Amino acid sequence: MTTTGRAGTRTDGRVARGDETRRLVLARAVSVASVDGLDGLTVGRLAADLGLSKSGVFALFGSKEDLQLATVRAAIGIFLEHVVHPVHELPHGMDRLWRLCSGWLVYSQARVFPGGCFFSSAAAEYDARPGRLHDTVAATRKNWSSLLEQTLREAQQVGEARRDLDRRQLVFEICALLELANGESVLHGDDTGYRMAADGILSRLRDAATDPSLLPAAG
């Protein structure tokens, strides 16, 4: 004979509520951290913003650093959803690389995070501060540049990018243009840098392509 215990039902309900509360807290945390930095996160602030108890929020994370790390991981998921996942079904080649870059520009300009690119802000905050947060942010930034380099390598393999390219140099230049567009927009409230960055990246990609017509014209 099989029975369904009330205790099990109650436990499942608490877990579901806890998961939902965690999602609400992290959604607020990524927004706060993108503007005020990861150091701006406190259990008390998040609890007050969301109308929750401090003890309830603290129980979900245990420490400020655990909250900060969970916030970075949540931001990674959002970034992947907006920038990386949309190109998964595209064939290897230069268009796929361009779509990654243009997706990044849209992600920044649309303020998916209120403070612009979450990881640009976090990198500036933790670039010279050793520890788990530094290592996590640094790895995330490295993964992005590695993805661009891998995508460029794949474009070479299918014959759409020149074989004599210095992949690391080109990716460095792409990332510099992306970061500058984001920084200028956040600092000055001027979005013209996004168009300039797009034109600069397209110009470099067309130079790198075996057939420039594979890509849109700059401007």
Domains in the chain (CATH in brackets) are 64-214 (1.10.357.10)
pTM of the model: 0.90
Contacts of 48 (CB under 8 A, 6+ apart): none
d(CA 42, CA 109): 27
**Per-residue confidence of the chain (219 residues) as pLDDT tens digits?**
444 566 565 556 666 676 788 999 999 999 999 999 999 999 999 999 999 988 888 888 988 999 999 999 999 999 999 999 999 999 999 999 999 999 999 999 999 999 999 999 999 999 999 999 999 999 999 999 999 999 999 999 999 999 999 999 999 999 999 999 999 999 999 999 999 999 999 999 999 999 999 999 877
Angle (CA) 82-88-92 rounded to 5° is 130
